[in-house]
Amino acid sequence: MIAPLLSLAVLAAFVSATPHNKPGHASPCQAIKPPHVPGAHIVSIKGTEKKNLTVPEAPTIPNLDICQVDVVLSHPHANDNVLVQVWLPLSQWNGRFLGTGGGAYAPGLFDLYLAPAVAQGYAAAATDGGVGVNPLTPDAWALKPNGKVNSELLENFIQRSIHDMAVVGKAVTESFYGKKPHHSYFSGCSTGGRQAMVEAQHYPRDFDGIVSGSPTLNRATFNVALLWPQVVMAEENTYPSLCEFNAFAEAGIAACDELDGLKDGIIMNIKDCNFDPYKLVGSKVTCDGKEITISRNVAKVVKRIYDGATTPSGLQLAPGMVVGTPFDSVANTTTTPDGHRVGNPLFYANEWAKYFLEKDAQFDTSRIPSSTFKKWYAQSEFEYTDIFADSVPNLTCFKDAGGKMIMWHGLADPLIYPKGSIGYRQAVEREMGGSRQVDKFYRYFLAPGAGHCGLPPFGVGAPLDPVASLVEWVERGKAPDTLPAGVVDADGVQSTHDICKYPMMSKFVGGDPKVAESFMCVRHF
């Protein structure tokens, strides 16, 4: 669930804004004023100059000269200490502020995103939300000593801390440079994509422009829906090996690959893809040197995963996986010492069930019957929908504030299925006058064959620099119809592609398939 490092190249020339240190006075980095944060008080503020800085998370970006400002704040009655860290270029500030998001259970990824941001001239900020920076588990903060959910820290994680970061980051930037940033932006993927949507929906004036990548929408119920493949395997008492699952993923790609006019191992036309898993029943695959015949039970497991979460009566609860997507995250299994294969739930969903539903760190989620799934789904919806509030389709306040948003999602995302963000986009269109009206402030892009936040599978690649496209839109009025993407294959060959604005799709029109100009955006194939 951790978002990868994405380029943040800026199209505009840098604006030099180097602070001046007077002899005998404290440096501006050490003398930044404590910001005013409504609803919180400042515990401490510390500025430190760091020169020739290189961080392990971004080793290709060496020799940064920054002022690092650590602001610790607390909310009344919350018993929290929230760190907001702001990095400020000591020279060649480009006049902009960039807020950065987190991944999984970490509200911020700090060096991973801050280093490339300041390298391109941004003043940038990240926050730990008062819950720390461990993306894998909320074990350190989810429950109080009495076993109840720590609702204050959960509120920090879900939405309060990202707004506080915007307030602190912009104030610190103004104090350091002596003027406000002329534009402020936010960029995040996965958890960061959800944070982006919280900002657009609930704090519409925090940022002039927002990039939301692979957003986890309807998070309260989606946290449970991620367990659906495990439920299916338990119900069918069938736990396919990864090798068997791969056979279905590859067969799905083979069945739908050429619907876009090109055989390249990438499904671009998911609308017309009607792959039937049962067609593989009786076929043979070789796994670990052994020949295995695909059974009807295995095909049924795959079909139900594609169909998505349903009630026993068939009511659709959550969208399913897109054909051609790898199964190894949500349908993972493990082998016990006695040789039995059992479920191995995705860590994010597993932790949600243990800490926020069962309130028991030792709860075993390896076998999940449909009755438990149904109970958890209803419980999570009832207890947490209001606090997440991340799928409000009315973005009028954001639009009226002049905000612009780019959302993108990989079509082969194995963690956060793109059907969720497609559904959200469609809901916004219904609420706000159709696609043409919505396109005026919110554009949506689906990256064919791409995985989660630029992680494998790579497909056509993730957007190379959505922030640069956003800057062009906000500051120059150039709304993007495509987002440049690219990927380097195993042989080191670079391919380029233009990801089309929804609902357009990419169609091969001839030429070199590794060149963006060989494709065009079409509404129908």
Phi and psi dihedrals of 461, rounded to 5?
100, 160
Q: Is the per-residue pLDDT at 18 higher than 80?
A: no
DSSP 481: S
Cis peptide before 62 (omega within 30 of 0): no
Are 50 and 29 in contact, with CB atoms under 8 Å apart?
Answer: no
Of residues 75, 163, 452, 497, which has the active-site annotation? 452
- Spatial distance between the Cα atoms of 458 and 418, rounded to a whole number of angstroms: 15
Residue keyed to tokens 């597993």: 350
For residue 22, what pLDDT is reported? 38
Of residues 413, 421, 435, 497, which has the active-site annotation? 413
**Residue 41: other Cβ atoms inside 10 A:** 11
- Spatial distance between the Cα atoms of 394 and 522, rounded to a whole number of angstroms: 28
- Spatial distance between the Cα atoms of 284 and 424, rounded to a whole number of angstroms: 40
**Residue 38: other Cβ atoms inside 10 A:** 7
Q: Give the fold, CATH level 3, of 183-217+390-481.
A: Rossmann fold (3.40.50)
190 among known catalytic residues: yes
Cis peptide before 319 (omega within 30 of 0): no
- Spatial distance between the Cα atoms of 210 and 467, rounded to a whole number of angstroms: 8
Structure tokens at 470: 């956003």
**Angle, to 10 degrees, between the axis of helix 228-236 and the axis of helix 370-388?**
170
In tens, the pLDDT along 120-175 reads 999 999 999 999 999 999 999 999 999 999 999 999 999 999 999 999 999 999 99
Q: Is the per-residue pLDDT at 267 higher than 60?
A: yes
Which residues neighbour 375 within 8 Å (Cβ) at sequence distance 6 or greater? none
For residue 27, what pLDDT is reported? 56
413 among known catalytic residues: yes
- Spatial distance between the Cα atoms of 120 and 57, rounded to a whole number of angstroms: 16
Q: Helix, strand, or coil here: 227? A: coil
In tens, the pLDDT along 25-72 reads 345 899 999 999 999 999 999 999 999 999 998 888 999 999 999 999
Pairing assessment for the beta strands 183-189 and 209-213 based on DSSP bridges: parallel
Higher per-residue pLDDT: 62 or 189:
189
DSSP 185: E
Average pLDDT of the residues of the chain: 92
Q: Is the per-residue pLDDT at 24 higher than 50?
A: no
| Mean pLDDT of the region 254-277 | 94
- Spatial distance between the Cα atoms of 186 and 108, rounded to a whole number of angstroms: 12
| Mean pLDDT of the region 91-96 | 97
Q: Is the per-residue pLDDT at 280 higher than 50?
A: yes
The domain limits of the chain are 1-181, 183-217+390-481, 223-387
In tens, the pLDDT along 337-384 reads 888 899 999 999 999 999 999 999 999 887 888 889 999 999 999 999
For residue 525, what pLDDT is reported? 80
Of residues 175, 190, 214, 469, which has the active-site annotation? 190
Please give the C-alpha separations between residue 22 and each of 25, 27, 50, 89, 173, in angstroms, as whole numbers. 6, 8, 18, 18, 19
Which residues neighbour 254 within 8 Å (Cβ) at sequence distance 6 or greater? none
Q: E strands along 117-233, which residues?
A: 123-127, 183-189, 209-213
Range scoring the smallest mean pLDDT among 299-303, 415-419, 485-489: 485-489
- Spatial distance between the Cα atoms of 36 and 236, rounded to a whole number of angstroms: 56
For residue 4, what pLDDT is reported? 39
91 among known catalytic residues: no
For residue 1, what pLDDT is reported? 35
DSSP code per residue over 56-80: TT-TTS--EEEEEEEEEEE-TTT--
Q: Read off the amino acid at residue 178.
A: G
* Of 294, 329, 515, 511, nearest in space to 417 by CA: 329
